[in-house]
């Protein structure tokens, strides 16, 4: 009878847990980012709490206000400027002021004869199809953006609610995060060593993904945008955000943006601009990851680049922008879980062999 009661209770526990997760699912992004921000800025809250012992509410409130001032407000300003630049660039493309097919044609015209012959062999010099593809792509982009623009007003309310929930949870996670982590640790039905490995890996991956990934990407994007602004390229902030976005993906990086621009400079006679951008991209932008990431994260928390790439792309496909964090996090927990399984199996085999 005792065993039946335990099984029924476990089924009930599983059912109510799934039901609670289903209720919270519409705001999973707000909950996720509240947890991520709390993990990243936990040292700030601890420092404030040491300076004002016995006042956890005030320390948590000051932590949230500082996060708003140094992170959220600057991001909001950048987002507003980005929308303006993207709108202007899209208008110039639609009006024909920017003709990407024409730019590519100028690059082809500047190529040596052997390169042109090689491209002709693979039928890559006919730009009529490229022009049609660009035109149809722009039309589809307009068709997609138009209804999105009309739905901004409806989405604003949902965004405000999610943002408010994120800040609300962030306050309590700052204030009670340590106690909540201990309760969760006690509830997980694993040995102390395995729980320690899982929780440590979780915190390491969050820091690696956000602090070591997003911050490094922001620095690389800012450096790339500064170079584009210096060279007089239109909408440097837009290209900076695109470079930062691509910098989150290992083995791809910001070079997908600045390298074609450098090639265009070289092909159109601006040799020094092209050479300077290549040197700047390789030496300055390229070395930021090698210099900053070990300092911000440390080598122990870093996942293999191929795992980060695949899990990030998969996470984006399933969860949207939140997948930048969810993908590597799931990958890290997957890897550490299998490491625990393999170590337990090896220990069991050794025990049998010893017996």
Please tell me the predicted confidence (pLDDT) of residue 12.
86
pLDDT attached to residue 145? 46
CB 246 within 8 A of CB 260: no
Q: Exposed e or buried b for every residue in 321-331, given b needs 16+ CB within 10 A?
A: ebbbbbbbbbb
Of 82, 97, 84, whose CA–CA distance to 138 is shortest?
A: 97
Per-residue pLDDT tens over the stretch 139-165: 555 444 444 444 444 456 677 888 889
Q: Are residues 38 and 172 in the same domain?
A: yes
R_g over Cα of the chain: 26
Residues 225 and 165 in one domain: no
Angle (CA) 299-300-303 rounded to 5° is: 85
Answer yes or no: are the C-beta atoms of 297 and 174 closer than 8 Å.
Answer: no
Mark which of 187, 222, 257 sits at the end of a domain.
187
Whether residue 173 lies inside any domain: the answer is yes
User: Would you say residue 170 lies in a domain?
Assistant: yes
35 and 179 inside one domain = yes
Q: Is there a single domain that holds both residue 115 and residue 197?
A: no
Residues (pLDDT < 70) of the chain are: 1-2, 89-157, 206-211, 249-252, 293-303, 305, 347-355
| 164-199 tens-digit pLDDT | 899 999 999 988 887 887 787 777 777 777 777 777
Residue 243 in any domain: the answer is yes
Asked whether the beta carbons of 236 and 229 are under 8 A apart, the reply is: yes
Which pLDDT does position 62 carry in this prediction? 93
Instruction: Give how many domains the chain has, as a whole number.
Output: 2
Compute how many other C-beta atoms are within 10 angstroms of the C-beta atom of residue 167.
Answer: 17
Cα separation, 40 vs 155, in Å, equals 28
**Is the distance from CB of 246 to CB of 252 less than 8 angstroms?**
yes
Structural domain span for residue 244: 189-344
User: How high is the pLDDT of residue 151?
Assistant: 47
Q: Are residues 171 and 253 in the same domain?
A: no
What is the reported pLDDT for 66?
A: 93
């Amino acid at each position: 009878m005792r065993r039946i009661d335990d099984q029924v209770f476990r089924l009930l526990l599983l059912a109510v847990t799934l039901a609670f997760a289903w209720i919270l699912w519409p705001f999973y992004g707000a909950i996720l980012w509240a947890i991520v921000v709390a993990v990243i800025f936990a040292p700030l809250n601890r420092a404030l709490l040491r300076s004002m012992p016995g006042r956890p509410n005030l320390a948590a409130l000051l932590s949230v206000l500082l996060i708003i001032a140094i992170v959220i407000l600057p991001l909001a300003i950048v987002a507003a400027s980005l929308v303006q630049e993207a709108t202007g660039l899209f208008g110039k493309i639609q009006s024909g002021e920017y003709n990407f097919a024409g730019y590519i044609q100028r690059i082809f015209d500047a190529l040596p004869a052997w390169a042109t012959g090689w491209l002709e062999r693979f039928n890559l010099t006919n730009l009529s199809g490229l022009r049609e593809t660009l035109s149809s792509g722009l039309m589809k982009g307009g068709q997609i953006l138009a209804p999105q623009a009309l739905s901004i007003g409806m989405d604003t309310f949902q965004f405000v609610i999610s943002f408010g929930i994120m800040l609300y949870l962030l306050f309590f996670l700052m204030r009670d995060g340590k106690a909540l982590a201990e309760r969760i640790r006690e509830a997980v039905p694993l040995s102390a060593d395995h729980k320690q490995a899982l929780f440590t890996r979780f915190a390491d991956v969050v820091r690696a993904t956000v602090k070591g990934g997003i911050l490094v990407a922001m620095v690389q994007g800012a450096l790339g945008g500064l170079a584009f602004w210096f060279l007089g390229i239109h909408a440097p902030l837009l290209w900076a955000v695109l470079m930062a976005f691509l910098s989150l993906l290992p083995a791809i990086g910001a070079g997908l943006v600045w390298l074609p621009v450098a090639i265009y400079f070289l092909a159109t006679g601006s040799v020094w601009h092209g050479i300077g951008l290549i040197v700047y991209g390789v030496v300055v932008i390229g070395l930021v990851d090698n210099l900053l990431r070990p300092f911000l994260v440390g080598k122990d928390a870093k996942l293999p680049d191929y795992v980060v790439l695949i899990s990030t792309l998969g996470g984006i496909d399933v969860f949207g922008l939140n997948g930048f964090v969810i993908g590597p996090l799931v990958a890290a927990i997957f890897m550490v879980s299998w490491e625990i399984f393999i170590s337990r199996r090896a220990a069991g085999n050794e025990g049998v062999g010893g017996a």
